[in-house]
Structure 1
Amino acid sequence: MEVIPGVSGGTIALILGVYDTLIDGAGHLARGVVRLISDGLRGRGTSRAVEHFRSVRWVVVIPIGVGMLAAVVIGARFVAPLVEEHPVETKALFAGLIAASLIVPIRMVGGRWRVHEVAVVLAAAALTFFLTGLPPAGDANPPLWVVAIAAAFAVCALVLPGVSGSYLLLTVGMYAPTLAAVNDRNLAYVAVFALGAIVGLGLFVSGLQWLLSRHRRITLIVVTGLMLGSLRSMWPWQSEENALLPAGPEALTAVTLFAVGVLAVLVLLIVEAILVRRHVLSEDTVSDPTPHPVDPER
């Protein structure tokens, strides 16, 4: 979904119930790589790196990683043109998905919300509303060092619900060049972009993992606000400068597709609840930056 402006990969992870697992695994993977390099250069061995690698739930992280790569290739080829050709219909559907998925972080927060927590949600929503209303920059042919920096920032949105990495690329004029590089198999561009993304993800996810571990409630409250504010980018009628326009003649179709998106998420949440109740699916893990004790029979 990260190839679609306005749709956050973190939001999709929340909908699928793997958000904490994704953050936890990415954090340990990033720390493991850092330990492997730093301890290797100092001659301290690989034991600390191995502890972090063993803490990654590979059975979840590997399928997610493979799926993400496949989604980028498929999305660049098929989904992105669909969004361009049918913007009203696709945005309405995605808006329904995001609106219903607000249930997920709200449920994860739990308990009774206090007044200052509601204020935090509204502030985060207002910030996202403003950012998603910024007009896109003109398409550019950026140098590779700019590609790396843009990728480092854009990939942060991969794990931050409500913030779309592809939308960030769009606002700095690098969305079209990046899609073209994927479609044209521009290996140099793709390799530099991937390197920048890995560095950015490693730095950002560690901080987010720490927040989820130490300040979980307020972090999820901010996430809820970001998702709420991101609904602005999914309003089906917008100008090329991202200004909001009145509803057009496709209003009935848009409302129908919005309802389909809401229903799809609700069905998914019901199925998840049934699987958890029957112990077919376990509750999601809580992100923790310290290595987990490893069962030798795992």
Structure 2
Amino acid sequence: MGICDVIPGISGGTIAFITGIYSRLINAVKGFSPQLVIDFFNYIFRKDKKYFLEDIKRLDLGFLIILAAGIFTAIFLGSKIVIFLLENYFMYTISFFIGLILASSKSIYDKIETHHKKNRLFGLIGLLTGISFAFLIPVDIVPNLPYVFLGGFLAISAMFLPGISGAFILLILGLYEFMLNVLHNLLDNILIFIVFGIGALLGMFAISRIVSFLFRKDRCKTLYILLGLVIGALSIPIRNIFLNGSWDILNIIVAFLFLLLGLISARSLDKINNKKNEKD
């Protein structure tokens, strides 16, 4: 997820779906409720630890810590590798990720239980929304702290939605290169990073509750919207390949092989997850 989150057009939420952790991620983040904050301050100032410890037990902390460690490691270390690959092997790298995304759309479709026309209409709405992102033009703005906060809120919200790339949202907001420079010079930009992080935390808590509510309200329609977003948002990396790729026959063949590699890798991982779930 962390590696994908630094590539505009590639969604970390899609990777969460491929790896089978999406629902667990949403539920784990949703566990951080306002009541937890109240109980935490009661624990600090009143030494009333009863409710706070009960809240902690309900959290999937082990999962979140491991996931967060992986994401931050990938963002800080993997971002340099990904930037190298994009600069030197752009067409092959993006083709691999397109293969992953295509496979994830099949995984989402398999989870949908009913396929009547009304549900498919929601899929069409998601599809058109995803395609529309390819036509957005990045703004040219000098970032200030409130704008960085907004960027963190919107980017992390996008990362939790399969098909929508948080990095692409930052690109549209004119914050992508700015935040990459912040990460690579963190000590000199610690205040900016903290403000971005606060916005991201609030966005994460908000979107997890919205997605959880939608799944409870109508799981099939929600999955169809996500499916449409995933397929529609493919227009972003595909457009990038058409604009920046090299179209001699050898490059086309190699890119197609990398697309197949991504597709096969994701499908294999999906089958492993399905077998694991059957055993559980």
What's the TM-score once normalised by structure 1's chain length? 0.83
> Secondary structure in 2 aligned to 1:213?
helix
**Match status 1:202 vs 2:205:** yes
Mapped contact 1:151–1:196 kept (Cα < 8 A)? yes
Mapped contact 1:35–1:46 kept (Cα < 8 A)? no
Q: 2:87 matched to which residue of 1?
A: 84
Q: How far, CA to CA, are the matches of 2:221 and 2:83 in structure 1?
A: 34
Which aligned pairs between 1:123-138 and structure 2 lie closer than 5 A? 123-138=125-140
CA 1:173–1:183 in 2, change beyond 3 Å: closer, same or farther? same
- Paired residue type of 1:267: S
CA 1:226–1:89 in 2, change beyond 3 Å: closer, same or farther? same
Q: How far, CA to CA, are the matches of 1:95 and 1:267 in structure 2?
A: 16
Q: How far, CA to CA, are the matches of 2:110 and 2:45 in structure 1?
A: 45
CA 1:49–1:238 in 2, change beyond 3 Å: closer, same or farther? farther
Mapped contact 2:119–2:220 kept (Cα < 8 A)? no
- Paired residue type of 1:179: L
Higher normalized helix content (fraction of residues): 2
**Match status 1:99 vs 2:102:** yes
Identity of aligned residues (%): 24
- 1:269 deviates by 1.6
CA 1:42–1:229 in 2, change beyond 3 Å: closer, same or farther? farther
Higher mean C-alpha displacement, 193-202 vs 248-257: 248-257
Which aligned pairs between 1:179-190 and structure 2 lie closer than 5 A? 179-185=180-186, 186-190=189-193
CA 1:210–1:105 in 2, change beyond 3 Å: closer, same or farther? same
> Secondary structure in 1 aligned to 2:277?
helix
Q: Any gaps of 5 or more consecutive residues in structure 1?
A: 283-298
**Match status 1:233 vs 2:236:** yes
Deviations 1:51-70 (A, max 9, x none): 44322222322211111111
Deviations 1:132-162 (A, max 9, x none): 3323334x54111110111101100121100
Mapped contact 2:158–2:166 kept (Cα < 8 A)? yes
- Paired residue type of 1:219: T
Deviations 1:4-27 (A, max 9, x none): 111111111101101000000000
CA 1:20–1:151 in 2, change beyond 3 Å: closer, same or farther? same
Deviations 1:169-200 (A, max 9, x none): 00111000000000111212111111110111
> Secondary structure in 2 aligned to 1:61?
helix
Mapped contact 2:127–2:229 kept (Cα < 8 A)? yes
Q: How far, CA to CA, are the matches of 1:31 and 1:21 in structure 2?
A: 20
Q: 2:164 matched to which residue of 1?
A: 163
Q: 1:26 matched to which residue of 2?
A: 29
**Match status 1:148 vs 2:149:** yes
> Secondary structure in 1 aligned to 2:17?
helix
> Secondary structure in 1 aligned to 2:115?
coil
Q: 2:178 matched to which residue of 1?
A: 177
Q: How far, CA to CA, are the matches of 1:195 and 1:14 in structure 2?
A: 25
Q: How far, CA to CA, are the matches of 1:127 and 1:31 in structure 2?
A: 32
Aligned pair count reads 272
Mapped contact 2:160–2:208 kept (Cα < 8 A)? yes
Q: 1:295 matched to which residue of 2?
A: none
